[in-house]
A and B are shown apart, each in its own frame.
Chain A
């Protein structure tokens, strides 16, 4: 994924500030797939935030009369109030899907934010300061990149016990590295621009220059990268859930729900797979389309 964004805009700074964003907006809204993706994203977010108000049951409430009889009585139905049926433990799948969507989005967005903030600052600093510092900082990134973090994350979750915090930490740790590289590359091309030189000339402190002048000019590429990172995070979390190392019960994520549904695939209760998978797929589709749309919109080369 890193590569697509590597080829992204180099000349952003050359275009006048305001018209860049206005242009981008126009271009983005001309892209039908991206707009559809955005609408889906808004709907999914609304579902995750407010869907719980329409649930007839708490997500952890077990209906014992339905346990073991899901295939006959736990089927999705408007009358029973189990719109999406019940899960293998007799819990309302609608309420659990709302909860799972919320957690998955949270994992994706927080994971991407950690990566973006850490990566951007690190990369901007390395790129702006340059010289020896840059060399050391980027060699460190190289070294960290060759550590198989998937394995390290599994180890961390196995050894220190799982928690949402550990998951964020692990996911964040893995993903800030390529962001740092991209941010550095961008910074290198910005730092010799007139407005930066002017700031240096009038004696603005180095940190202020980085935060006021460099980072805002990285915003375009950061947004693109972040949108493409979110679905990766969500996929990643689902993989961790498959290994049984994901979110703790009674909390859940789409990955955990899909995994639960997959196990029952043969057991005549396909809805347990279908509903969470549906939300998982449309969320990912939406992020992919929006991400692609944003990249096209913010990259003035690609007309």
Chain B
């Protein structure tokens, strides 16, 4: 088990380096620098700006400086777009926001999704099942950029219950709509995975035995069926949690939450190289971490798996 974790970490490090180099090249090749504006900047001013950010250095030197800065000093450099800010500050500000509603969304998606899936499986081929399947397929198909304005029309404009956007330090009423908009499609996926997994488990011999022994249904489900049912859900969670963090782009734009997704898209549009690279690396590291966590959790729950 430990050697497995060590091996996974050993793969993670080159992965991150590849990620850094890849995004650096994409940025380097990009037409349109971060300092273009509608009015052409005189060449002498441009030279001053490039010298300030070290962009006049040869490419390999820029890359080397960047990589060493990130690896040894954990310094992602200054933002090109916002002179009073470093990338570290941008991440320090946006990431907690994204993480907060990302994790709430994950929790919401798992709890509701699993409940829905279990209910549908137990009441297989009844009205409960069809309703649950209907809800989850609908929720999975409705794009969140459609859901967000609908939520706004209902809860902000219609009922006046919730503020229409902003973050306000993460006050609960600002978090609700982003969480709903972000989590529903994942909730739906989880419900569908749980349902089919539960159906399979309920058909398996050990559950049939348990039922035959006359154990109460509730006990069978909670004590015996739930754990194996959750295995596929757990392996889905790694990509899903990362998806909730990268997928926050829509939510950030629709609710002006100021999370990492909004920073990423704005930086991509503005060619703010250092911010783009910083966020890409951060999300890459997150992906690796969550996948690792999920695998460990998986191994812990399922004793059959040996590494």
Which residues of A approach B to under 8 Å, CB–CB?
1-4, 6-7, 139, 142-143, 145-148, 150-152, 154-156, 158-159, 231, 235, 238-239, 242-243, 255, 258-259, 262, 265-266, 273, 277, 280-281, 284-285, 288-289, 292, 301-303
Q: Say whether B141 faces chain A, with CB atoms less than 8 Å apart.
A: yes
A146 touches B287 (CB 8 A): yes
A231 touches B153 (CB 8 A): no
A146 touches B200 (CB 8 A): no
> Within the complex, which residue of A7, A255, A273, A284 is in contact with B141, where a contact is CB–CB below 8 Å?
A284
Q: Hey, which chain A residues are within 8 Å of B232, CB to CB?
A: 3-4, 6-7
**Chain A to chain B contacts (Cβ below 8 Å), 6 pairs:** A2-B236, A146-B12, A151-B283, A242-B250, A284-B137, A303-B203
Q: Known: A1-B189, A148-B284, A159-B30. Is A288-B140 also a contact (CB below 8 A)?
A: yes
A262 touches B26 (CB 8 A): no
Q: Say whether B246 faces chain A, with CB atoms less than 8 Å apart.
A: yes
In the complex, how many residues of chain B place their beta carbon closer than 8 angstroms to a beta carbon of chain A?
Answer: 53
A147 touches B269 (CB 8 A): no
Which residues of B approach A to under 8 Å, CB–CB?
11-12, 14-15, 18-19, 22-23, 26, 29-31, 137-138, 140-143, 145-146, 149-150, 153, 185, 189, 192-193, 196-197, 199-200, 203, 232, 235-236, 239, 242, 246-247, 249-250, 264-265, 268-269, 276, 279-280, 283-284, 287-288, 291
Q: Known: A142-B15, A148-B242, A148-B280. Is A238-B143 also a contact (CB below 8 A)?
A: yes
> Within the complex, which residue of A154, A242, A281, A301 is in contact with B145, where a contact is CB–CB below 8 Å?
A242
What is the bound-complex CA distance between A257 and B246, given in angstroms?
Answer: 24
A146 touches B284 (CB 8 A): yes
What is the bound-complex CA distance between A142 and B124, given in angstroms?
Answer: 37
> Within the complex, which residue of B30, B203, B246 is in contact with A151, where a contact is CB–CB below 8 Å?
B246
Query: Max chain A CB contacts within 10 Å: which of B19, B239, B268, B284?
Result: B268
Nearest first, the 7 closest Cβ-Cβ pairs linking A and B are: A284-B141, A148-B283, A159-B30, A3-B232, A242-B145, A146-B287, A143-B15
B280 touches A281 (CB 8 A): no
What is the bound-complex CA distance between A142 and B185, given in angstroms?
Answer: 25
Q: Hey, which chain A residues are within 8 Å of B280, CB to CB?
A: 148, 151-152
Q: Hey, which chain A residues are within 8 Å of B287, CB to CB?
A: 145-148
What is the bound-complex CA distance between A302 and B203, given in angstroms?
Answer: 8
Q: Hey, which chain A residues are within 8 Å of B146, CB to CB?
A: 258, 262, 273, 277
Q: Known: A143-B15, A150-B247, A154-B264. Is A262-B145 also a contact (CB below 8 A)?
A: yes
Q: Hey, which chain B residues are within 8 Å of A281, CB to CB?
A: 138, 141-142
Q: Hey, which chain B residues are within 8 Å of A259, CB to CB?
A: 145
Chain A binding surface, main DSSP class: helix
- Which residue from chain B places its CB closest to the CB of A238 in the assembled complex? B143
Q: Hey, which chain A residues are within 8 Å of B142, CB to CB?
A: 281
> Within the complex, which residue of B11, B153, B192, B242 is in contact with A265, where a contact is CB–CB below 8 Å?
B153
B264 touches A6 (CB 8 A): no
A302 touches B200 (CB 8 A): yes
Q: How far is the CB of A135 from chain B (nearest CB, A)?
A: 11
Q: How far is the CB of A263 from chain B (nearest CB, A)?
A: 8
Q: How far is the CB of A142 from chain B (nearest CB, A)?
A: 6
Q: Hey, which chain A residues are within 8 Å of B264, CB to CB?
A: 151, 154
- Which residue from chain A places its CB closest to the CB of B242 in the assembled complex? A148
Q: How far is the CB of B239 from chain A (nearest CB, A)?
A: 8
> Within the complex, which residue of A3, A146, A239, A284 is in contact with B15, where a contact is CB–CB below 8 Å?
A146
Q: How far is the CB of A246 from chain B (nearest CB, A)?
A: 12
A154 touches B268 (CB 8 A): yes
Q: Hey, which chain A residues are within 8 Å of B140, CB to CB?
A: 284, 288
Q: How far is the CB of B252 from chain A (nearest CB, A)?
A: 11
What is the bound-complex CA distance between A265 and B185, given in angstroms?
Answer: 22
Q: How far is the CB of B62 from chain A (nearest CB, A)?
A: 17
What is the bound-complex CA distance between A11 and B84, given in angstroms?
Answer: 62
Q: Hey, which chain A residues are within 8 Å of B250, CB to CB?
A: 239, 242
Q: How far is the CB of B275 from chain A (nearest CB, A)?
A: 12
Q: Hey, which chain B residues are within 8 Å of A159, CB to CB?
A: 26, 29-31
Q: Known: A7-B200, A154-B268. Is A147-B284 also a contact (CB below 8 A)?
A: yes
Q: How far is the CB of A218 from chain B (nearest CB, A)?
A: 20
Q: Known: A159-B29, A159-B30, A265-B149. Is A143-B11 also a contact (CB below 8 A)?
A: yes
What is the bound-complex CA distance between A243 and B200, given in angstroms?
Answer: 40
Query: Max chain B CB contacts within 10 Å: which of A151, A155, A265?
Result: A151
Q: How far is the CB of B107 from chain A (nearest CB, A)?
A: 20
B269 touches A301 (CB 8 A): no
- Which residue from chain B places its CB closest to the CB of A281 in the assembled complex? B141
Q: How far is the CB of A280 from chain B (nearest CB, A)?
A: 7
B145 touches A235 (CB 8 A): no
- Which residue from chain B places its CB closest to the CB of A242 in the assembled complex? B145
> Within the complex, which residue of A3, A139, A151 is in contact with B193, where a contact is CB–CB below 8 Å?
A3
5 more contacts with CB within 8 A, not counting A147-B22, A280-B143, A285-B141, are A2-B239, A4-B196, A143-B15, A148-B287, A239-B250
